[in-house]
Amino acid sequence: MDCLTYAGNLRNLTAVADKPGYTFTRANICDRAALDALLDEHRPRAILHFAAESHVDRSILGPEAFIETNIRGTFVLLEAARAYWKTLNSAEQQAFRFLHVSTDEVYGSLEPNDPPFCEETPYAPNSPYSASKAASDHLVRAYFHTYGLPTIITNCSNNYGPYHFPEKLIPLMITHALEGKPLPIYGDGMNVRDWLYVGDHCRALRLVLERGRPGETYNVGGRNERSNKEVVAALCAILDELRPDSPHAPHRQLIRYVKDRPGHDRRYAIDATKLEQELGWRAQETFETGLRKTVQWYLDNAEWVREVQSGSYRDWMDQNYTTRGEMAAQEHTR
């Protein structure tokens, strides 16, 4: 179920569209009547809650949508799940799971020598996005402790891979580099993130859904800390190799430093020991292998990229990055 806002794309699901277990419904998780009807019709054994507004920059420019979807939407979904769960028999109730997919950003920002986030790290969100996700985490936890709804929370580091909507760092840089556009890096480029290939995240979620303990939180991370500068340099090097005849090579010449965003967290890192030891999960992709697969996918799927770059997306890109570039240039000339 998805409401197909700006980043929603049914073409991403073409490979499973004919599978007997697949059904798509366009609806909003804030629509309680639609949720009740779907649960009554399909009688699921689990709910995986991925639905969220997820881009920090968008949350700074327009926080209300994040409050609506991430907090109110999670509340409505929990209420619908709780009502449905109460209709199940005892065995079905024991087997049911509500898996809430969240982010490492709820933990705030780390100093360079701080240990990575673990499941006991206190929450300290610093953006409207992370604050809204922290609130949704708290709601999910409360529904387990108050009502007994068998919920599980996962907090994951930055994902990357195929089908990534090109407003996030890696797909943005790939698509811009291929077009010879500037590669905008915030501030000094030394903000650090822990990168996880999306396929590894999906494998983790399958394990948590199958064997995770209700009421628990599991952190999912790739143990791949990289600064934004390092990420962009690495993908530029891959593009130089895979597209040596590009008129824009070497692609690093396209890098531009722009004004930093407000409240930009300096470092995230995840300690996935609990997930690794309890459920036996390990990331199968290194950052190097995962990034190469990702760059190759975007090279092989230029039509997909063209289709998702709609007018509304271009308008937002202009609003967010053009203004930052102008401000950075003004500061540089002072």
Which residues are known catalytic residues? Answer: 104-105, 129
Please give the C-alpha separations between residue 86 and each of 64, 74, 91, 123, 272, in angstroms, as whole numbers: 32, 18, 12, 31, 33
Q: How many CB atoms lie within 10 A of CB 76?
A: 17
Q: How far does CA 273 lie from the centroid of its chain?
A: 21
Rounded CA gap, 318 and 326, in Å? 11
For the chain, how big is the Rg over CA atoms in Å? 20
Contact 56, 103 (CB under 8 A): no
The tokens for 325 are 């570039």
End-to-end Cα separation, the chain, in angstroms: 51
Torsion from C-alpha of 133, 136, 137, 142, nearest 10 degrees: 160
Rounded CA gap, 68 and 65, in Å? 5
Please give the C-alpha separations between residue 93 and each of 43, 44, 71, in angstroms, as whole numbers: 12, 11, 25
* β 151-156/217-220 pair status: parallel
Closest residue by Cα to residue 124 from 141, 138, 136, 108: 108
Rounded CA gap, 269 and 219, in Å? 10
